Amino acid sequence: MTALPLAAHRVAAPRLLDLAGEFPGVPEGWAYLDAAATAQKPKAVIDAIARAYAQDYATVHRGVYQRSARMTERFEAARDAVARFIGARADEIVFVRGATEAINLVAQSWGPGQVGAGDRILLSVLEHHSNIVPWRMLADRVGATIDVAPLTAEGQIDEEALIAMITPATKLVAIAHVSNVLGSVADIPRIAAAARARGAKLLVDGCQAAPRMVLDMGALGCDFYAFSGHKLYGPTGIGVLWARSDILQAMPPWQGGGAMIEEVTFERISYAAAPLRFEAGTPHIAGVIGLHAAIDWVEQVGMSALEAHEAALTALMRAELGAIPGVRLFGPEASAGILSFAVGDIHPHDVATILDETGVAVRAGHHCAQPLMRHLGVTATARASVSAHNSPDDIARLAAGLQKVRRIFG
């Protein structure tokens, strides 16, 4: 790896990992800084997916032959691994396509029986569209009201204001654990306690938190938690909904088909117990195996080590970009692996295009958070997000690329 002259190297280096060689999709000299959109995959995960589709492949929960039985065991072992990873029970883990499907599942299964006309749903300004649209659809369907908690000047959810907005009519609070734009981290235990005291349930969008911090559902105190596998070094098309067992068992199924039933006649249907009740049809078998491999890889590296690695790189990135004239940084100083920024009045798409020409990949757009963009007074931002394979050299390339942007645009 080419050493680049960054004074901040000396600050960050003691806490950094050296894992770039484990990521076949990240060639030397390419700075992939878009992990908040999707993480690159370590070789262990790629190998597990390939094996699942090759010599191990068979369906699950149906076959009586040996390979099917073995694959069923591996599938359910993955459920156990997810439960362990987030401090939960296996019968509380529902496999879904991603966090978007998880949130829609709650909105369409739990929502209609628990939220009605005159009730309220509380969100925040920084939510991803996936944690806005399903609730807007539910509110329109049943006649409920959406309330929106403000942000602090630093870009955190204003927790004092949010807690004050929870009323006896509030049936659900739904917020992001970590903002996908600002990297700000919500105090979930505090918000959960406030919601519980007022009889409201709390759903947490954990997409950006699951790859970045240790999770324990018991300690968090929420009622629902959703995350996607592809941001956690796993494959696309697989995600997790966790819900408290008593809530999950009381929820009706939201899709019908095979695997989610006990008995079917034309006159009557009896449904399987949760979580299988919510997993209609043939599941994403290789995706589940790949997610298990990703969790094993993360646990082998150590989540605390990954968190420290990202924190050091994020601090370095804020320091380097903040020193460039005309660059505006969004979000709090203690952002979790994510930094959105603007370069003067240059459109973020132009910024990202020029960075791409220099071998730096960042995201540009509204990041599925249009209400937050309006709050920030912009139509879009550029966003850099770090991951296990990144190094100070990647931050140096980003800073050098932004200097090129400034030169091109004068």
Catalytic residues: 368
C-beta neighbour count of 198 within 10 angstroms: 13
**How far is 175 from 123, CA to CA, in rounded Å?**
6
CB 152 within 8 A of CB 158: yes
Q: Which residues pair with 342 in a beta bridge?
A: 328
Distance of CA 390 to the CA centre of its chain: 19
Residue 90 to residues 95, 215, 260, Cα–Cα distance (Å): 11, 15, 17
**How far is 228 from 209, CA to CA, in rounded Å?**
10
Assigned token pair, 121: 């749903």
Residue 352 to residues 323, 328, 362, 398, Cα–Cα distance (Å): 19, 15, 6, 10
Looking only at the bridges linking them, the beta strands covering 31-32 and 360-361 are parallel
Assigned token pair, 128: 């991803």
CA-based nearest residue to 235, from 315, 160, 290: 290
CA-based nearest residue to 232, from 330, 316, 301, 157: 301
